[in-house]
Amino acid sequence: EIQEELALLTIKERVFEFITDVNLSNELIDFIRQIDYNNDIKALIFLNNRESFSEENYDRFIKGIIEKDESAGKSEIPKYSHKNTRFREINMLNAIIKTIAGLQKLVISGLNGTIVTPFFGASLVADFRYASEDAVFAMSHNKYGLHPSGGLLFFLSSYLHHSKALEIQMRDKLDVKTAYDLGLISKILPADNFPGQIIREAREFTGIKYGSLRDTKRLTNFYRQSLTKYFDYEAEMLNL
């Protein structure tokens, strides 16, 4: 929805079904690109319902695409029963992240509840990240022997020291206070009326003139030119 100078996009449910549907993911990419051409919109806000990025949803998706004996951790290399579904998940999420990374608008991510690996990574493309006081970042890929998708290590390595980036993705979970102390979260907000608080935070930045905002984002985005190379390397490594 559009609220004056803000575009709000809420992920409500069935996020893995969405991300593996090429047509729906391309519709989202087109929507994001259209926002960039609308001079009346100054910020794009991504929000998630509390259960949409949960470990339960992640487990259900992963167990549905890998062989049953692999989910029990019997092999270091997972074998897929539905490899194309996994590849679509990675490729479409990467395409969405690259689109967001190139935006000249402010991008704000509101993180609510538990956030699993791919969407923790995707959230780091935002310019500002606000999390609810009970948010938890789950490195759910580790229990299946998967790599950290969603560009997680690219962004962690950009924001943190190499060893700290590795340490974080090898944990089971990262609490919101630690994420804030590391600078991965801009502000921790109360869980009550979380969307409304995100909107109020966003409006503090929307008074900036469009030209200043556009050019500032262009220059700030310069280092992200290497994001495409990172995703290309990931695709080569996984034989996508």
Residues of the chain above pLDDT 90, percent: 74
Give me the pLDDT at residue 214, please. Answer: 79
Dmax (CA) for the chain in angstroms is 56
Number of C-beta neighbours around residue 209 at 10 A = 8
* pTM recorded for the entire structure: 0.91
Q: Which residues are CB-contacts of 214 (< 8 A; sequence separation ≥ 6)? A: 104
User: Higher pLDDT residue, 213 or 87?
Assistant: 87
More confident residue, 192 or 94: 94
Q: For residue 6, what are the contacts with CB-CB under 8 A and spacing of at least 6?
A: 41, 42, 43, 44, 45, 199, 202, 203, 206
For the stretch 110-138, pLDDT in tens is: 999 999 999 999 999 999 999 999 999 99
Q: What is the DSSP letter of 126?
A: S
Cβ pair 108, 130 in contact under 8 A = yes
Residue 74's pLDDT band (cuts 50, 70, 90): low
**Alpha-carbon 139 to chain mean position:** 13
**Which residue bears the tokens 């989202």?**
28
Sequence-separated (6 or more) residues with CB below 8 Å from residue 54: 113, 114, 116
List, for residues 20-63, the tens digit of each pLDDT value.
999 999 999 999 999 988 988 999 999 999 899 999 999 999 99
Q: Are 175 and 185 in contact (CB under 8 A)?
A: no
SS3 151: coil
How far, in Å, CA of 130 to CA of 123, rounded? 10
